[in-house]
Structure 1
């Protein structure tokens, strides 16, 4: 009897399209997929699979629901000859070789509109926390040293500051909209494409275009890095333009770690030229880069004028649920032979 059941289950599995979910996901995400008759293999750990584990699960898969810890390169595609779709539960798809995927006939989708608000909120949180020295302040209270008010831990605020946005896409504009309530003296931005007048009018935020990134760094008290990672933005923040930045500038990175040279940032902090660095993203996360570092620059971790979060830009429960659902719906469209909403290749 059990042999017949096993054979029946194997036969059903052969008739189903196999989908691999590479990270722990919401139950609702799995239900969307399984209710469509898909055979779902899922990672039930919070830790990502190793590359070998991913390949062992995905080698016969037809679709992958991928997350930030994943990287799609030639090795993965060679190991997964049946693969037709990678549905990414993320916005920035720079860890996925979309051109090679297109060449192999593998569609790649992303969810660009669902991470903007929580990421912009976190950007402002990091800026406030860095300027108001919240990391040091929290330590004073927890250590037992706090005995009442003292004239110490003075920091900086956003009101009256000249603030720069590097990258005026959806996230950059959302950050600017949230900064408006803090009444900065001026908002500047640097982007290869100038914002259309209708875009600035719709957002109710006025931003002035800087001539280039170097000029933005020279003019601003605080700069938010909001640009995607591509060949032109790799190490866009580097030792050369940091040396010419406004003395005492603070830097907030919520885009991709490799948009900055972390070694150069550490040097600028140690020299005192840079007053602070906050980040939610780090160079070692950019898996697609062959020469990426293995870990965060140690001097950044030990420096008192830094503030970090572990890639929490979209880590709002409702947002993460919606992101996964959107990626799962792309898989359903693929199964039904329908057109994708957010294909990127």
Structure 2
């Protein structure tokens, strides 16, 4: 009988970790999440789940799978898992931090550049045969990044990596809002200033979101937040969709309260607010590609499998997000 159920297809390097350790496992060949009832049925009796961010692992799953001891999420975020329910049932939850930091920061910066320099519009303009030569006042006039102010909402690993790219590569001034101050060395390196959220909004030319999805951060970017931003400001989100009130964002973009947006995540993925799809100027949209390089996604699968292997072999997994379960 399988000890591990892999809810969706992962890269073979991750599966190989289990094979080399002699751990029986079963992997679904599909790349779409199972309905909860089907997941429960297929995972009966297993000790470990390897899950993806599209899997919803809630109280009903933990109740129905009493043998379950660990859930290894192939992601740095774990808002798809009810962590309090897992802890109550004595189930360890792990994630895959660090490995996707640089790839996600690259994506955030790419979206910021794409929205600022209107790359999606320019691409369509050329492909549709509407470009008839260079002009001084071209239709796709963008804005500079160099020397502007970048506001980082959430100065964790990815936020810091984004700030480094901005400061060292583009000479940008860095403001940040975070629950706690960044290390003094990081602040000094980036000449970064920790400021209240309201000041971050009012002074930033670009605001990049890098905070986790929690009840406290849900819809932190509201209509009021957009009114506080500069009319020339651009919002970038590569964290989690629910941090942004998408209806309010659409209204802010349509009314000119802010100038643009670069979004890799959405409130109701894979559904996207229809208003965002209609906005074709200064808006860049991507299908949750933050960690989507072959090297990074492969390493995420390996790390999740390593977490499972270590736990099932009686060792402490490196990336437990509810370590109190291990102490019990």
| TM category, shorter | over 0.9
After superposition, give the CA deviation of every residue in 1:226-280 in whole Å (9 maximum; x if it has no partner). Answer: 1111122111110112112222211000111011111110110111111011111
| 1:338 is the counterpart of 2:292 | no
Q: Are 1:29 and 2:14 counterparts? A: yes
2:84 is the counterpart of 1:88 = no
TM-score, length basis structure 2: 0.93
Aligned to 1:327: 304
Query: Which has the bigger relative contact order, CA under 8 A and spacing at least 6?
Result: 2
Q: Does 1:253 align with 2:229?
A: no
Deviations 1:52-77 (A, max 9, x none): 33222112221001111112111211
Partner of 1:225: 209
Bigger Rg over Cα: 1
Counterparts of 2:77 and 2:183, CA distance in 1: 23
- In structure 2, the residue matched to 1:157 is 144
Distance (Å, rounded) in 1 between the aligned partners of 2:168 and 2:128 = 34
Any residues of structure 2 matched to 1:269-280 within 5 Å, and which? 269-280=253-264
2:283 matches 1:302: no
Aligned-partner Cα distance in 2 for 1:35–1:61: 19
- The DSSP-based 3-state class of the residue aligned with 2:158 is helix
Question: For structure 1, which runs of at least 5 residues remain unmatched after alignment?
Answer: 1-12, 286-293
Deviates more, 1:162-171 or 1:35-44: 35-44
Deviation at 1:301, TM superposition (A): 1.3
What TM-score, normalized to structure 1?
0.89
Which residue pairs with 1:314 in the alignment? Answer: 291
* Alpha-carbon distance in structure 2 between the residues aligned to 1:298 and 1:108: 35
- Given the alignment, which residue of 75, 84, 87 partners 1:102? 87
Counterpart of 2:159? 172
Q: State which drifts further: 37-46 or 266-275.
A: 37-46
Q: Distance in 2 between matches of 1:207 and 1:314?
A: 25
Match of 2:219 among 235, 244, 247: 235
Question: Which runs of 4 or more aligned residues in structure 1 lie more than 4 Å from their structure 2 counterparts after TM superposition?
Answer: none
Could you list the per-position Cα deviations for residues 204-229 of structure 1 after superposition, in whole angstroms to 9, with x for gaps in the alignment?
3221121x111111111110011111
> Quick one: distance in 2 between partners of 1:260 and 1:35?
43
What is the aligned counterpart of 1:283 among 241, 257, 267? 267
Structure 1 residue 181: Cα displacement: 3.5
Q: How many residues in Structure 1 have an aligned counterpart in Structure 2?
A: 319
CA RMSD across the alignment: 1.5
On the 8 A contact 2:151/2:200 being kept in 1, the answer is yes
Partner of 1:141: 126
Counterpart of 1:288? none
What SS does structure 1 have at the residue aligned with 2:268?
A: helix
Name the residue aligned to 2:43. 58
Q: CA deviation at 1:297?
A: 1.4
- What is the Cα deviation at residue 22 of structure 1? 1.5
The equivalent position to 1:216 in structure 2, one of 200, 217, 221, is 200
